[in-house]
Structure 1
Amino acid sequence: MLRALMLALGLVAAPLAAADTLVFTAIPDEDETRLQERFGAVADYLAEELEVDVRFIPVTSYAASVTAFRNNQVQLAWFGGFTGVQARQLVPGARAIAQGVEDPQYKSYVIANRDTGLEPMEQATAPEALRGLTFSFGSQSSTSGRLMPEYFLREHLGEAPEALFERVGFSGNHSRTISLVQSGAYQAGVVSYKAWENEVESGSVDPERVQVIWQTPPYPDYQWTVRGDLDERFGAGFTERLQQALIAMEAPELLASFPRSGFIPADNDDYAMIERVATELGLLD
């Protein structure tokens, strides 16, 4: 029964954590095996800094990360801008406490298969040449793979994606979007610029088959969000200690996991733009 419930929620089956264990998750924005490896090391770091047991539990979808947070199956999460807003709306007292140095000025890349003949465009130029193509977003709940790119496309071109493109798809994550556009299954798509850089560095991108043709204006994105009852559960001042441990994370191998050059403080007001856009697009009540 327990395993069935966890699978229904999109959680990878794992033993229940003890009450004194800090459990965290992260949106599955890239390949799941890679996520498991990188966040296992982060769990070890936090356990040493905070002197409590820390466990990372992967989830299978963006929506599942929000559900796990709402149900108190995790107390800490590395959310995208939109999933963080969703989670904090569902859990009174939840707080954004840290973000990557790069996250206040995040951006998305529109990529295209080389066979389209599209060439890189100036940022200020509306990508009119995208009209009529097949187009893939990432997850439906992705800030950089759906929410903000859709907002900017509507703003620049004056129409919803369904009217702009011949066919619209949702790949589920950035890695899959890149694969789909590179293979020609979709002619164009949109991805997090950090995910694109990761895939290029790993050798997964064939520049002869796919390239970046446009980048969005900047917007706030990822952040660490905590439930509001951590001090009650782990002792007075625990949330502040956790925030400081995240900000003090300096080991290159840990920062490369995100990837970020470091972390800085964050609060809920930093994501007001995301909340406004999500409400305008009808994705948030």
Structure 2
Amino acid sequence: MAVAGLASAQAVLKVSAIPDEAPTELQRKFAPLGKYLEKETGMKVEFVPVTDYAAVVESLATGKIDMAWLGGFTYVQSKIRTKGATIPIVQRQEDAAFTSKFITANKAIQSLADLKGRTFAFGAPSSTSGHLMPRHFLLQAGIDPDKDFKTVAYSGAHDATVAFVQAGRADAGVLNASVWNKLVEQKKVDPGKVRVFAVTPPYYDYNWTVRGGLDPALRKKLTEAFLKLDASNPEQREIMALQRTTKFIPTQPENYAGIEAAAFAAGLIK
């Protein structure tokens, strides 16, 4: 009877994601994956949209959601907030060597050095690929965004950063490579007008993280469900295409030590 009690105690798996793209896009990307996880776990899977990055961290910490798609920095924030209780379980193979792309529509900007005195757009303040790691690499290149840029704006999301630059609201900006490639493929950006002029070195980024206290058997089941997803399986092709990967791989807290160090160095974690 104890097992039945456990199942009834948690009949719904609540899942969320950092709002790094428009809410409608997040829902579209998650829908087939949610159906797959329902089949694999035997639970109802509910996608819980959130307003900002901080809300995902808080919802994981307070048990309002069970699992979330986080950036590397948001995972580090959740780890600190929960004293290490949250657990990253899997990431796309691309996330083990992720990059950000610096973009501009200004012909005079050809390198990072040309950004001095310009207006610049990051994504959300808690974004790994739209703020933290680009800031880290700018500082390494001897450019302090707070002192060397004319103004710094935070667009809130990767697709919004492209819109800022395309509309001339910022001389340049930075976003993650995956969203840039998707927007180019979908013809939502004209690479003839907006171009990539610099790319960061690779770093660990996105992962699926579960809350502290989640039933270990369910955590194992979720991990296995992701790891056996196969892009060559016709039924799973759409899931993988929407997640922009061909394979999920295991991940662990240690992978994000570099991001944590970069966040402390940039003063984004006190």
TM-score, structure 1 normalization:
0.86
Give the alignment partner of residue 244 of structure 1, picking from 202, 224, 245: 224
The residue that corresponds to 2:250 in the other structure is: 265
RMSD (Å) for aligned C-alpha atoms: 1.4
The residue that corresponds to 2:260 in the other structure is: 275
SS in 1 for 2:192: coil
The residue that corresponds to 1:21 in the other structure is: 12
Q: Where in structure 2 are the equivalents of 1:47-196 lying within 5 Å?
A: 47-91=38-82, 92-113=84-105, 115-119=106-110, 127-157=112-142, 159-196=143-180
The residue that corresponds to 1:39 in the other structure is: 30
SS in 2 for 1:237: helix
Q: CA deviation at 1:104?
A: 1.1
Alpha-carbon deviations, 1:126-149, whole Å to 9, x = none? Answer: x21111110000000000000000
The residue that corresponds to 2:198 in the other structure is: 214
CA distance in 1 between counterparts of 2:60 and 2:116 reads: 38
Q: CA deviation at 1:197?
A: 0.5
SS in 2 for 1:256: helix
SS in 1 for 2:242: coil
8 Å CA contact 1:116–1:187 kept in 2: the answer is no
Please say which of residues 21-30 and 58-67 is displaced more in the overlay: 58-67
- Unaligned 5+ segments in structure 1 are 1-17, 122-126
- Give the share of equivalent positions with the same residue, in percent: 39
CA distance in 1 between counterparts of 2:85 and 2:51 reads: 26
Q: CA deviation at 1:68?
A: 1.3
8 Å CA contact 1:139–1:171 kept in 2: the answer is yes
Please say which of residues 56-65 and 171-180 is displaced more in the overlay: 56-65
CA distance in 1 between counterparts of 2:150 and 2:214 reads: 48
Q: What amino acid maps onto 2:228 in structure 1?
A: A
Q: CA deviation at 1:83?
A: 0.3
8 Å CA contact 2:89–2:250 kept in 1: the answer is yes
SS in 1 for 2:45: strand
Alpha-carbon deviations, 1:100-139, whole Å to 9, x = none? Answer: 10111100000011x34334x5xxxxx2111111000000
8 Å CA contact 2:130–2:158 kept in 1: the answer is yes
CA distance in 2 between counterparts of 1:273 and 1:93 reads: 19
Q: CA deviation at 1:19?
A: 3.6
CA distance in 1 between counterparts of 2:119 and 2:212 reads: 43
